[in-house]
Amino acid sequence: MDQSLSFYLEQHQALINDYLEDYITNKPILSSLKTSMLYSIRAGGKRLRPILMMAACEAFGGKKKDVLPVAAALEMIHTYSLIHDDLPAMDDDDLRRGQPTNHKKFDEATAILAGDALLTLSFQTIMEAEGLSDIQKVHLVKKLSIASGALGMVAGQLMDMESEGKEIPLENLEQIHHLKTGRLISYALMSGAYIGGANESQLQSLVETADLLGIIFQIQDDILDVSGNAAKLGKPVGSDTINNKSTYPGILGIEGSLKTKNLYVNRAKTSLREAEVGNTMLFTLIDHLSDRDH
Ligand code: GRG
């Protein structure tokens, strides 16, 4: 990885980690609940969504300290979604990021409540942000509730569960990912630009970039899944290492998925240029989302 990118990622990861740690630690939360919330918050995620939000804010001339509470709020929602996704009623996973999942480390009820607490604390975090006006806070909370709730991620999660084991057309797959993962990624870019001071027409151009970023993230996630499976089987990446038909490689093949991803990367950069942001780290982050290795 390019040195300036890895420096940028590390520096911004540290900012978001410190903010989350201080904010949650300093709240008078019941000790057992706080321990469970912090366990998943500290479990070492890549912080891609907050970094994207901070980069978007900086691209339009905004200050990091104004965007940090909103970036932390988004990461809280992401963390809650992973805790609940791992539960026995959903994916029933024992490990997340190489460590025991929240319900394995604690118990199911604690994990459910830690997720609930992170979800609601995220809205409180935005409402308590010091550098934002009331109008900005209301806008940001409204958009975050739409992106993460019944019209966004939660609906995508249920659609995904309902399609399990079925062969689905590409159109349905895109709709599931648009809701399940795309909406939070899109929120990261759009809210960062909004806090940074982007005008209406710039925000309009960014909607396409934001939607494409979600798809790029997902195609790469599916490709990584195939290479992980190939490594497990000790085989080269190929059609027989594609383990799920309802994925981009399952529908388009590896070559087709790579082609589609590159097409979307170019389109995302074009619409980003149309937002007249100048030379920003966002271009590098699009490549990073597209080429990340984990
Ligand atoms: C339970 C309401 C509810 C929603 C869950 C996001 C989600 C919806 C489930 C996660 C399942 C999953 C593995 C989806 C693939 C894409 C994804 C969100 C991967 C994890 O995101 P990263 O790579 O994770 O940003 P880190 O660990 O870096 O934070």
Task: Please list, in sequence order, all residues whose beta carbon lies within 8 angstroms of the beta carbon of residue 228, skipping any fewer than 6 positions away.
Answer: none
**Ligand 1 centroid from CA 86, angstroms:** 10
Residue 291 to residue 294: CA distance in whole angstroms: 9
At which of 145, 168, 198 does a domain end?
A: 198
For residue 1, being part of any structural domain is answered with: no
| DSSP 8-state assignment for residue 238 | S
At which of 147, 174, 198 does a domain end?
A: 198
**Ligand 1 centroid from CA 236, angstroms:** 26
**pTM of the complete model beyond 0.90:** yes
For residue 206, being part of any structural domain is answered with: yes
In one-letter notation, the amino acid at residue 292 is R
ipTM > 0.85 for the complex:
yes
The values of phi and psi at residue 152, to 5°, are -140, -115
Same domain, 210 and 287: yes
Tens-level pLDDT at each residue, the chain (294 residues): 788 999 999 999 999 999 999 999 999 999 999 999 999 999 989 999 999 999 999 999 999 999 999 999 999 999 999 999 999 999 999 999 999 999 999 999 999 999 999 999 999 999 999 999 999 999 999 999 999 999 999 999 999 999 988 888 989 999 999 999 999 999 999 999 999 999 999 999 999 999 999 999 999 999 999 988 888 888 888 878 888 888 899 889 999 999 999 999 999 999 999 999 987 899 999 999 999 998
**Ligand 1 centroid from CA 272, angstroms:** 25
Same domain, 71 and 84: yes
Predicted pLDDT of residue 274? 94
Same domain, 110 and 242: no
Mutate to test the pocket of ligand 1, among 12, 20, 52, 85 (most ligand atoms within 8 A of CB): 85
**Ligand 1 centroid from CA 134, angstroms:** 30
For residue 266, being part of any structural domain is answered with: yes
For residue 2, being part of any structural domain is answered with: no
CB 115 within 8 A of CB 125: no
Predicted pLDDT of residue 241? 82
For residue 261, being part of any structural domain is answered with: yes
**DSSP string covering 107-150:** -HHHHHHHHHHHHHHHHHHHHT-SSS-HHHHHHHHHHHHHHHST
Predicted pLDDT of residue 242? 84
Whichever domain contains 158, its CATH number is 1.10.600.10
Same domain, 172 and 208: no
Residues for the chain: how many in total? 294
At which of 198, 213, 233 does a domain end?
A: 198
For residue 293, being part of any structural domain is answered with: yes
Domain of residue 235, residue span: 200-294
Instruction: Go through 157-176 and write b for each residue having 16 or more CB atoms within 10 A of its CB, e for each that does not.
Output: bebbeeeeeeebeeeebbbb
Q: What is the torsion angle, in degrees rounded to the nearest 10, for the CA atoms of residue 75, residue 175, residue 257 and residue 55?
A: -30
Predicted pLDDT of residue 260? 96
| Domain total in the chain | 2
Measured from the Cα of 115, ligand 1's closest atom is 1
